[in-house]
Chains A and B, each alone.
Chain A
Amino acid sequence: MNKSRKHAQLSEFWRRYKKNKTAVMGLILLVIIVGMALFADLIVPYEKCIEQVGADRLQGPSMAHFFGTDEFGRDLFARVVHGSRYSLLIGLATSLMALAIGAVLGASAGYFGGVVDNVISRIIDVFMCVPPVLLSLAVVAALGTNLRNLIIAITVSCIPGNVRLIRSVVLTTAEQDYVEAAKSYGTSNARIIFRYVLPNAMGPIIVNTTMSISTMMLSAAGLSFIGMGIQPPSPEWGALLSNAQTYLFVAPYMLLFPGIFILLSSMAFNLVGDGLTDALDPKLKD
């Protein structure tokens, strides 16, 4: 019975999600991009993106190279396809980690208030004083450059903003009468935070998280640009983009294709995020 109810809730959720046409479009787009990342090796072998062909340097798009080639004669199509792995991984992993940590810290600060709030908020204030890029740089410099450390670095730079946002929405939600009602029949604080406060504060949090995915990809690009991120020759959209700047007037297509993919994927995440917010809110039912 429990299982069938869960099932019913899921199908109900899907029914409501389906109603939002743009959200469905976003989902399709997202499936395509994620599919591309998962099956990158089937689409085009990895060797193609590191293989340097001297004769094919800075070629425009053609049948041989769909997206053209870069300054070393590497196939850009292959680099974009394989780059999606790094970019999506960085975008998703950093956003979700920042969300999880931000939710715990922000919700504790907003819900408990007093000393807890003071301690968390003051620490966050200190972090807010440092520009995010500098913060990431410091972390990478301290830990060394590899993918894991890059993800940690970007996550750290994003946490302060998340904590601030979640704290403020939790502050207003925690004042609602239903929270007091929950206390009156003896609900524990953890249950109140996870069953009452966070679900009702979810809207802005989801929007912020999906928006941050594309920002994260771009900060990874920034770090790659100054040599602190993904190391060449590994492809990554942001790195491709910053690399293309040098050849902006000679080979604008080099900028175009990675740019389009960053745009499309961030759009897909935003649309899906909006759709989720609406579909999860029972007030917007039907």
Chain B
Amino acid sequence: MTEILLEVKNLKKYFKTPSGMLHAVDDVSFSIPKGKTLGVVGESGCGKSTLGRTALQLYEPTGGEILFHGQNIANLSKKEFRQVRTKMQMIFQDPYSSLNGRMTVRQLIAEPLIVNKVCKNRKEIEERVTKIMDTVGLANRLSMAYPHELDGGRRQRIGVARALVLEPEFVVCDEPVSALDVSIQAQILNLLMDLQDQMGFTYLFITHDLSVVKHISDEIMVMYLGKCVEYASASEMFKNPVHPYTKALLGSIPIPSVESCHKKRQLIQGEVTSPVNPKPGCRFAARCPHATERCRQGDIPLREITPGHFAACHLI
């Protein structure tokens, strides 16, 4: 049994809005073994980005625990937390807006080293920046360039380099490839997976793209309106989806092959409802074709369907 690097227990994050409490993340638990990838999928507004940010303590959790190496990071002193923060980093979605346009490539990558004071002198900073640029495939001649002079793929490499220069153990990837063209997307995915093989990173990979999540993840969590509706290994999830939402999601992906031409599909009606003051019961009930009265009463816990495969549905 491999060591569990990050464990999240009953994590909750609510936001106060004028119309009520927004349940962005509602009672979500998971654990990621060292060197593995947990993929989180869901549509916009399902709370997947909030989950990633709360796990990194960018947002203060409303409830629940985050254990890193078995230690609750909420209880750490400021100094200890700074130490842990260098071990947990994030790669952002948009390589256009997540880089400060007033800094050169080298300054951008050196920034985490400088603010966390991990290097003894300038020379060490220079060395580490040069090394990580080489690792992520950024040519050294680009070091004085500004991000706007580069294309999306190179910028995202800067984003990756900036997250990895501190040599973290855990990296939250928030839709790192969805703003990129397919051919560049594949380059970055390969890069992330190679780096994981070489350096043993642990990823929390957030995306709305099911084919990407299947490709990169060991385990997958499907989220709907702040709740985890299904949790299983990647292959099991795609072979044997049980939750009606997961099934609908998988059925909606356009598949690039001739057979899918003009085929009739199972569509789910309606759109994601608001996560503000949600009613009790299954959050998906409003769109679910199989919903019954029972689904609308009381919360539905995750149940283990087969070993390692969890789902939150009455009908299974």
Contact = CB atoms under 8 A, between A and B. Distances in A.
A185 B89 contact: yes
A55 B90 CA distance: 81
A285 interface: yes
A181 B115 contact: no
Interface stretch (B6-14, B91-99, B132-140, B223-231): B91-99
A188 interface: yes
* A interface SS class: helix
A184 B82 CA distance: 11
B35 interface: no
Contact of A185 (B100, B102, B116): B116
A3 B233 CA distance: 55
B141 interface: no
A200 B99 CA distance: 11
Given A282-B148, A283-B101, A186 B85 contact: yes
B111 interface: yes
Contacts of A178: 97-101
**Which of A176, A178, A285 gathers most chain B CB within 10 Å?**
A178
Interface string B75-113: 000000010011001101110011111100000000110
A4 interface: no
A186 B92 contact: no
B111 to A, nearest CB: 7
A181 B146 contact: no
B54 to A, nearest CB: 12
Interface in A166-217: 176-178, 180-188, 191, 195-196, 199-200
A282 B162 contact: no
A2 interface: yes
B57 to A, nearest CB: 9
B122 interface: yes
Nearest to A283: B148
Interface residues of B, number: 28
Interface centre among B98, B99, B162 (most CB of A within 10 A): B98
A186 B82 contact: yes
A177 B85 CA distance: 18
Contacts, number: 67
Question: Which of under 10, 10 to 19, 20 to 34, or 35 or more describes the interface residues of A?
Answer: 20 to 34
B212 interface: no
Contacts of B146: 282-283, 285
B115 A185 contact: yes
B38 interface: no
Given A181-B162, A185-B116, A282-B146, A200 B102 contact: yes
Contacts of A182: 100, 111, 115
Nearest to B168: A185
A277 to B, nearest CB: 13
Contacts of B112: 185-186
A6 to B, nearest CB: 13
B58 interface: yes
Contacts of B122: 1-2
Contacts of B92: 177, 180-181
B56 interface: yes
7 tightest CB-CB pairs across the interface, nearest first?
A185-B112, A177-B98, A282-B146, A177-B97, A178-B100, A184-B90, A199-B102
Given A176-B97, A178-B98, A184-B56, 5 more contacts: A177-B97, A181-B98, A184-B89, A185-B89, A285-B149
16 contacts: A1-B122, A176-B97, A178-B101, A180-B98, A181-B162, A183-B58, A184-B56, A184-B58, A185-B115, A185-B162, A185-B163, A186-B115, A195-B100, A282-B146, A283-B101, A283-B148
Interface of B: 56, 58, 82, 85-86, 89-90, 92-94, 97-102, 111-112, 115-116, 122, 146, 148-149, 159, 162-163, 166
